[in-house]
Amino acid sequence: MLVSMNQSRRRFLQSSIGGAAAIGVGAAMPACFADAATAGNQEQERILVVVQLSGGNDGLNTVVPYADDHYRSARPKLAIPISDVLKLDDDTGLHPSIRGMHDLLQDGQFVAVRGVGYERPNRSHFESMDIWHTCRRKNEPRPDGWLGRFMDQQPESAGGDVPALHLGHESQPAAIASTSIRVPTVKTLAEFQLHGNDKQALRELLQTNRPVKPTQDNELLDFLQSSTTSAIAASQRVSEAAAGYRSDVTYPKTELGNKLRVVAQLIDAGLTTRVYYIQHDGFDTHAQQTETHSILLRQWSDAVTALIRDLDAHDHGKRVCVMTFSEFGRRVSENASEGTDHGAAGPMFLCGGGVKAGIVGKRPDLTDLQDGDLKHEFDFRQVYASVLQSWLGADPTAILGKDYQPLPLFG
């Protein structure tokens, strides 16, 4: 298994060296690739892929308390029929659309944590998302996010790859905002190249890291200049990295599937990037929820399962963890539009070869609600603390602001 990894790594390095030599600039191979060729231990570093379900995923219809009468009475139209539930035990099952997750659970590669939330839940999408991203309330300063603070803790990698990558069209999530590191956003690998007749001259112009004249003391211009330099550098690295990827796994032909395939390519190419961030939007199901929610869950489950299988096949399965969360769950009672309104606590999910598989947390108590919403059993920062400590090998207290009791989520 180790051989296949080394082969793919060698293939990638050969192809980029060969490519450089072919256009007559053999000696000018970017420093990062030269580093990558010698930095063997980097391969063991663990990677976190975050999948954000935006809009508020209906957790009760994802991990389903199918035998609970209160569930059926609160959801006369939306409850998942008992016969459809993918049953795990006598009272809990999974939504029928997430068979991929069900299979991962059987294979010991899936853990769901139920009842995750926080004190005084905020029901605004943006505010609640900001709380999950920054771990701070609105009245506190929040210049960065929890993953941004994780990156800040890491030793600086001279000429290395970007510490985190955001894939998507959306604006960057605050979770990866850092006061010292700028994280690039990539949509597709093909789009990540300059066009036009003069692209070579333009690349040289934009690459130049020009010191700003003291007379032009403009922070915003500094920001734009460093962003531009990092955009050009990242563009070259990323497009060369994925050139020779081969895979037998078929990813679903969805936006999420495409993004996760790119993640697999980049991981397999040996990038030292530790965090990948992907959003999957549309979970704000206020009306006609059944069909929409089912499609969204299937897209999520199929794409993440494909990624896990693909990483396994390329022998990266043991060093990648996919963490899924949403800014809140939904109201326990359905509304009159066959949908659900903004709620509070909900489940989180971790997938990959390193997790301790199972369902963590109690069955939600539908008779003990706050304003119609589920109370949380775990603070989301307990899950972050586990991921930071047990998976990424970081000090969670400094990142999360105080001590949170980690959960046994990793084997």
Partner 1 sequence: MNEMQTIDPDWAWQPFEPTSQRPWDRSLAAHLYRRSGFGADLARIDQAVMRTPAEVVSELISNNQETPDFRSTADSLAEATLAGGDPAKLSAAWVYRLLYTPNQLLEKMTLFWHGHFATGAEKVNDARMMWNQNQLLREHALGDFGRLVHQISADPAMLIYLDSAKNRKAHPNENFARELMELFCLGEGNYGETDVLELARCFTGWEIKNKKFRKNRYQHDSGIKSVLQQRGDFDGDDGVRIVLEQPATQTFIARKLYRFFVSEERSPTDALLQPLANLFRESDLQIAPVVERILGSNLFFSSNSVACRIKSPVELVMGMLRSLHATTNTQLVGRGLKNIGQGLFYPPNVKGWDGGRAWINSSTLLGRANLIADILENEATRFDGGSLSECLDRREVQTPDQAIRYFEQCLLSVPLDDATRIQIQESVESISGDTERQMRAILHALTSLPICQLA
Footprint on this chain of partner 1 (rule: CB under 8 A): 123-127, 138, 166, 169-172, 182-187, 191-199, 201-202, 204-206, 208, 210, 213, 216, 218-221, 223-225, 227-228, 230-232, 234-235, 284, 286-287, 335-337, 339, 341-342, 371
Q: Smallest distance, Å, CB 172 to partner 1?
A: 6
Closest CB to partner 1 among 156 and 219? 219
Closest CB to partner 1 among 39 and 194? 194
The residues near 370 (Cβ < 8 Å, ≥ 6 apart) are 121, 344
Contact 113, 347 (CB under 8 A): yes
Closest CB to partner 1 among 226 and 405? 226
Contact 411, 356 (CB under 8 A): yes
Query: Which residue, chain included where needed, has tokens 């690349």?
Result: 203
Cα–Cα distance measured from residue 19 to residue 191, given in angstroms and rounded to the nearest whole number: 20
Q: Smallest distance, Å, CB 83 to partner 1?
A: 28
Cα–Cα distance measured from residue 346 to residue 128, given in angstroms and rounded to the nearest whole number: 13
Q: Smallest distance, Å, CB 98 to partner 1?
A: 24
Q: Smallest distance, Å, CB 184 to partner 1?
A: 3
Q: Smallest distance, Å, CB 219 to partner 1?
A: 7
Q: Smallest distance, Å, CB 291 to partner 1?
A: 15
Q: Smallest distance, Å, CB 196 to partner 1?
A: 3
At 53, which helix (H) or strand (E)?
strand 47-54
Alpha helices in 120-269 (DSSP H): 125-134, 146-153, 199-207, 219-241, 255-268
C-alpha angle 386/410/40, rounded to 5°?
95
Closest CB to partner 1 among 84 and 170? 170
Contact 132, 149 (CB under 8 A): no
Cα–Cα distance measured from residue 402 to residue 400, given in angstroms and rounded to the nearest whole number: 6
Q: What is the DSSP secondary-structure string of 234-276?
A: HHHHHHHHTTT----PPPPSSHHHHHHHHHHHHHHTT----EE
Closest CB to partner 1 among 125 and 318? 125
Closest CB to partner 1 among 310 and 373? 373
Closest CB to partner 1 among 247 and 370? 370
Q: Smallest distance, Å, CB 3 to partner 1?
A: 34
Q: What is the dihedral of CA 335, 340, 341, 343, to 10 degrees?
A: 130
Closest CB to partner 1 among 155 and 196? 196
